[in-house]
A = this chain, B = another copy of it.
């Protein structure tokens, strides 16, 4: 019966994940103060693709239309991404990384790998793989 007494906030998956994400973002910032994780994700995906519409980039990086707009605007504002409307489909805004965007990405990518590594550093290799496998199932 004492149903409400058994709710331990600290044991809830959402609470723990929020804390782990906070730690991860702090590590990211310590190694890559230049960009936020979200901005880096958008830039990385765009560099991988070479080119994409804003909407497409949002879908591929799991960002809402409003969110990706803000992120892209900031990347454009810093000259890392250029944008122009597509002639054959006037709805779309085609994004391309600028040379500076590509250069920055190349410069940061090894540090980004380091971020993932540091985040997982309390775990063994086997544990890290286990964790990734489990998280993927919740994706």
Contacts and interface: CB of A to CB of B under 8 A. Distances in A.
Interface of A: 3-4, 7, 9, 11-25, 28, 37, 41, 44-45, 48, 61-62, 105-106, 109-110, 112-113, 115-116, 119-120, 122-123, 127-128, 130-132, 134-139
A119 B15 CA distance: 12
Given A9-B61, A44-B9, A109-B3, A138 B14 contact: no
B110 A3 contact: yes
Contacts of A61: 9
A106 B61 CA distance: 38
Nearest to A45: B9
Contact of A105 (B4, B21, B22, B106): B4
Contacts of A48: 9
